[in-house]
Amino acid sequence: MLKVNPNLDKIEISVIRKIAEACKEYEGGEKTLINLTIGEPDLPQPKKIIDETIEYMQSAKLGYPQLGGMIELREEIGKYYREKYGLSIEADEIIVTVGSTEGLSTAIKTIILPGDEVLTPLPVYPGYEPLITLAGAKLVKIDTSNDNFELTVETLKKYMTPKTKAIIVNYPSNPSGVIISKENRDDILRFAKENHLYIISDEVYSEIIFGEEHNSFLQDEYRENVILINGFSKSHSLTGWRIGYVIASKKMRGYLIKVHQYAVTSASAISQKGALTALKECKDISSQVEIYKKRAESVYKKLKDANIFAIEPKGAIYIFISLEGITNLTSLDFAKKLLEEERVAVVPGIAFGMDNYIRISLVKDEDILNEAIDRFINFVNKKDRE
Amino acid sequence: MLKVNPNLDKIEISVIRKIAEACKEYEGGEKTLINLTIGEPDLPQPKKIIDETIEYMQSAKLGYPQLGGMIELREEIGKYYREKYGLSIEADEIIVTVGSTEGLSTAIKTIILPGDEVLTPLPVYPGYEPLITLAGAKLVKIDTSNDNFELTVETLKKYMTPKTKAIIVNYPSNPSGVIISKENRDDILRFAKENHLYIISDEVYSEIIFGEEHNSFLQDEYRENVILINGFSKSHSLTGWRIGYVIASKKMRGYLIKVHQYAVTSASAISQKGALTALKECKDISSQVEIYKKRAESVYKKLKDANIFAIEPKGAIYIFISLEGITNLTSLDFAKKLLEEERVAVVPGIAFGMDNYIRISLVKDEDILNEAIDRFINFVNKKDRE
């Protein structure tokens, strides 16, 4: 074979994929398979979004959208951030992207160079490291277990080197459901400004918050340092539409758009219309959030009652469960055994850089989730007896 | 400002954009503006595609599509290549991409490394160089005017160095409309194999061919060397849907998909359904091709009768007109003056690396194109008299 980019050899097939493959063997068996691996909302896409997009498809040209995203959508996104967070965001500081993934990829390609180091707290979403690796840089993963899995400046300082170029944060966190306090957020922003670091803030779960408010890293005082990533996959269940956005300073947007334009031209015009409808007509997703919240509380309580430690989710659609004292198996082997014996599919914590955990997605009805947790507890207790 | 990827400073805002900006000044004037800059089909998207996609949106989940593209679509693409070209292409050698742009970007990121040289014939589509530059490599543009703008091995040999890693070909060509002969194609494939070079073949105009047949670079004997890029933007006017595909060897696909997955996750599920309908139900686009062909012939004849040299288009949706002996202006200044005086917007040849040309897109009705050419000829004759 002719030579390819050698960084690609460092990128492995994801652990999530391995479990998904293993799932196939157990489909249609006697005991129903409960698949809690994928981070895809089960709640339906708002009908209004489908209907208005269909109407648009019947009348509009569906030609190349404006470079960087249709102006109506970018204006609506700006308005949303102005109203919700009191920020001064304008349309020319926004790029509409092919989901939040393309936003991340575009941001990383724009600012990360070979040899750079990028800091991120553990547990970490598995989509970041391959992009950093492909850029020839290094993702430095920070243990935050002593700070309730919140990133703090004290921890950042320990990992900072002259090579550090950026910090990736993801609150509410996939997989931990942890959110960040205003104080820590402000400290991190100040630290980034003082040390000339970029912050890539993946806030794709910003709308799914249980109770407290979301502290966005996008702040007027720190616009030079921050690239915000967001999208409609989680808030409006629009996963298959591939639609998201990036917000950055106007100057940074000038760089980002060069990468974006030549990488994808634009996001689909159809999906852009869907996102516009989401923001204009389906802004209130509180009833959906309530469902995720109830699921999270129910599962968390069940685990607690069984003396199993899990990180209490404050947002997002996951629960991250500790295997400490439960097993000596790797999280992958544990997940495989759980699947084999109890037909419950979960993601091994190693996928997020923490081998003594597993992740459950809260994307099934509460009774199915409860059934899965019962099976999990049963499995754990069986292990105890062995 | 904090440091960004320095290669981005080498990427300029496109000349096409400059002309598009200039156009805005002349809209709604006394003399109607005829904008022939954009490479976007004016022919409507097949109604069947819209209808079936809408039906799909009303019933399907529209969740994350399968990694690499929905299997039905990949199977249909494979079938198309087996039937049309007699090749042995299977679904696991295909990735569905966010338009052909993402295919190109993914291919280049996978195989091109800093310091590499990539050969391509002039005139060249302006989307390639920024991707090569961003990869830290160099696009070496080859003069092919002595070979009727077809790439030959003799020419390739002159530009080949130890750094040469790949060749990008684009037949039918944007902007020249030139196609490649079977003989030249075979010679280039053999040359690539012998010299361990990749060929990235952008065949996005493969369906728009006037008379002769399309000689695809995808050949069973050379699968190791070739990455084929194609899409539905030109054949089915699905520009805004952002849907295309890459075909490569199974092994190469394994690398490409790592880049694709972390760059965009996938193309929109809605757009994938549109593409599937295009292939299953709207394969015959001969009446559309006939329209482009008539336009090309009409414009070409008009220019010939006025003793103005243009490259005779054998496919695609453009005509590339020589300014040799017509003006001493740069192609950008010429285009600006033509716009100012005659309200005809064209793309300066410099956008394609050839300053003594302009490009016209054949994306208006024949009478409008003829009117534009009349104005152009009038403009040229006026210049003569000055």
Closest-CA residue to B235 (of B214, B266, B264, B256):
B214
Nearest to B4 among A53, A111, A268 (CB): A111
Q: Where are the domains of chain B?
A: 6-44+285-385, 47-281
> pLDDT at residue B385 above 60?
no
Distance CA(B96)–CA(B230), nearest Å, equals: 10
Nearest to B258 among A130, A239, A265 (CB): A130
> pLDDT at residue A1 above 70?
no
Q: Are A54 and B57 in contact (CB under 8 A)?
A: yes
Q: Verify whether the Cβ–Cβ distance A225 to B2 is below 8 Å.
A: yes
In the predicted model, what is the mean pLDDT of residues A48-62?
A: 97
Nearest Cα residue in chain A from B132: A262
H helix intervals, chain A: 15-24, 47-59, 71-85, 99-111, 128-134, 153-159, 182-194, 250-264, 269-281, 286-305, 331-342, 366-385
Closest-CA residue to B273 (of B41, B50, B40, B92):
B50
User: pLDDT at position A220, please?
Assistant: 96
Q: Verify whether the Cβ–Cβ distance A264 to B264 is below 8 Å.
A: yes
Residues of A in contact with B58 (CB under 8 A): 50, 54
Residues of B in contact with A243 (CB under 8 A): 268
Nearest to B262 among A5, A131, A239 (CB): A131
Segment A113-170, tens digit of pLDDT? 999 999 999 999 999 999 999 999 999 999 999 999 999 999 999 999 999 999 999 9
Distance from CA of A379 to the nearest CA of B (A): 31
Listed range (B7-16, B225-234, B377-386) with the worst mean pLDDT: B377-386
Q: State the count of interchain CB pairs (< 8 A) between A and B.
A: 187
Residues of A in contact with B112 (CB under 8 A): 5
Nearest Cα residue in chain A from B59: A50
Segment A87-112, tens digit of pLDDT? 999 999 999 999 999 999 999 999 99
User: pLDDT at position B332, please?
Assistant: 93
Tokens describing residue A128 = 């970041």
Q: Are A310 and A322 in contact (CB under 8 A)?
A: yes
> pLDDT exceeding 70 applies to what percent of chain B?
99
Nearest to B101 among A99, A265, A268 (CB): A265
Query: What's the mean per-residue pLDDT of chain A?
Result: 95
Nearest to B240 among A17, A58, A268 (CB): A268
Segment A340-371, tens digit of pLDDT? 999 999 999 999 999 999 999 999 999 999 99
User: pLDDT at position A291, please?
Assistant: 98
Nearest Cα residue in chain A from B67: A17
Segment A190-206, tens digit of pLDDT? 999 999 999 999 999 99
Segment B215-258, tens digit of pLDDT? 999 999 999 999 999 999 999 999 999 999 999 999 999 999 99
The Cβ-side half-sphere exposure at A261, using a 13 Å CA radius, reads 20
User: pLDDT at position A137, please?
Assistant: 97
Distance from CA of B55 to the nearest CA of A (A): 9
Q: Are A356 and A367 in contact (CB under 8 A)?
A: no
Distance from CA of A235 to the nearest CA of B (A): 13
User: pLDDT at position B252, please?
Assistant: 97
User: pLDDT at position A52, please?
Assistant: 98
User: pLDDT at position A163, please?
Assistant: 98
ipTM > 0.90 (yes/no): yes
Distance from CA of B196 to the nearest CA of A (A): 7
Distance CA(B57)–CA(B38), nearest Å, equals: 30
In the predicted model, what is the mean pLDDT of residues A301-320?
A: 98
Nearest Cα residue in chain A from B225: A2
Distance from CA of B112 to the nearest CA of A (A): 7
Residues of B in contact with A197 (CB under 8 A): 2
Nearest Cα residue in chain B from A226: B2
The CA-based diameter of chain B, rounded to the nearest angstrom, is 66
**Confidence band, pLDDT 50/70/90 cuts, at residue B29:** confident
Q: Verify whether the Cβ–Cβ distance B270 to A265 is below 8 Å.
A: no
Q: Verify whether the Cβ–Cβ distance A268 to B241 is below 8 Å.
A: yes
Q: Does the structural domain B47-281 have CATH classification 3.30.360.10?
A: no
H/E run at residue A200: strand A198-202
Radius of gyration of chain B (CA): 21
Closest-CA residue to B128 (of B94, B190, B174):
B174
Distance CA(A315)–CA(A285), nearest Å, equals: 14
Residue B108 identity (one-letter amino acid): I
Distance CA(B376)–CA(A189), nearest Å, equals: 57
User: pLDDT at position A341, please?
Assistant: 95
Nearest to B98 among A3, A98, A110 (CB): A98
Instruction: Label each residue of B177-210 as H, E or C.
Output: CCCCCHHHHHHHHHHHHHCCCEEEEECCCCCCEC
Measured CA angle at A22 (ends A234, B271), to 5 deg: 40
Nearest Cα residue in chain B from A104: B263
Distance CA(A246)–CA(A360), nearest Å, equals: 28
Nearest to B111 among A4, A17, A165 (CB): A4
Give A209's DSSP letter.
Answer: B
Distance from CA of A5 to the nearest CA of B (A): 5
At the second CATH level, the architecture of B6-44+285-385 is: Alpha-Beta Complex (3.90)
> pLDDT at residue A14 above 80?
no
